[in-house]
Amino acid sequence: MTECYIRVAEDENEEPMEIPSEEDGTVLLSTVAAQFPGACGLRYRSPVSQCMRGVRLVEGVLHAPESDWSNLVYVVNYPKDNKRKMDEMDAASAVKIKRGVQKTSDLIVLGLPWKTSEQDLKDYFNTFGEVIMVQVKRDAKTGNSKGFGFVRFTDYETQVKAMSQRHMIDGRWCDCKLPNSKAGPDEPMRSRKVFVGRCTEDMTADELRQFFMQYGEVTDVFIPKPFRAFAFVTFLLFFSLYGYNLFCVGHSVCPHI
């Protein structure tokens, strides 16, 4: 099997998004989660039985149901806990990962050509999704571009998409990143690193990674040596929390600023 794209959607009736497989034909859960934050698996409707079937998931790797993914539309699974009412505020339900309520934030666009205008930026990013705002930062006196700007999208999924790739704008490669200077005005407590308390000595970095990847792409797991009963898990994107949380295996989690 070779590299291909599989069609993935939030719901059977929603427009699918194409997601790349690996060279061996498998699909990484982290690739799915990059477009559908909080995803923990995939399912599909069997053309034979007409029942929903789960896609085999082994250690973060999704395996094609048959010899290949064929042309089916795969539907994203989310942890069952996400569907619980938030007023329970227990365990995993306290973690804000539900898709669609994620607020967008301004993204800094680095590496713009000097000639690129706000209209150029808007025209370019509108091909990803609805754009709320674009700015090109300029020298106050001369009006010359400083070579960077900002963009804000309506939908968080568009923002994630924009951040996940490089951009060819007017002949130069540009990057969209979360600005480190100013956070959004009404953002909740956010961090890319969470403190994981009450760890047991037998917990491995890989186990932590496997667990937390349902909330987003994990970029680092730190376990102090010698054993100190805590760990840090760092995400690629900001990880929004309502506050101090417990997750389902009973270990405490809180943001690390």
Nearer to DNA, 133 or 229 (CB): 133
* Shortest Å distance, C-beta 146 to DNA: 4
126: DSSP letter? T
Minimum CB–partner distance for residue 130 and DNA (Å): 17
State yes or no: cis peptide before 226, omega within 30 of 0: yes
- Shortest Cβ 221–DNA spacing (Å): 23
Region for residue 230 given its phi and psi (left: phi exceeds 0; alpha: psi -120 to 50; beta: otherwise): beta
State in angstroms the smallest separation of the CB of 143 from DNA. Answer: 10
For 145, the enclosing helix (H) or strand (E) is strand 145-153
- Give the C-alpha separation, 2 to 24, whole Å: 6
Counts of helices then strands in the chain (DSSP H, E): 4, 18
State which residue, 185 or 226, has the beta carbon closest to DNA. 185
User: Considering beta carbons, is residue 53 or 172 the nearer one to DNA?
Assistant: 172
Least gap, CB of 136 to DNA (angstroms): 9
Based on CB atoms, which residue is closest to DNA, 143 or 250?
Answer: 143
For DNA, the binding residues (CB under 7 A) are 105-106, 108, 110-114, 133, 135, 137, 140, 142, 144, 146-148, 150, 172, 177, 179-183
User: In terms of CB distance, is 122 or 182 closer to DNA?
Assistant: 182
Q: What are φ and ψ of residue 73, in 5° steps? A: -100, 125
Show Cβ contacts of residue 228 under 8 Å, excluding neighbours closer than 6 positions.
none
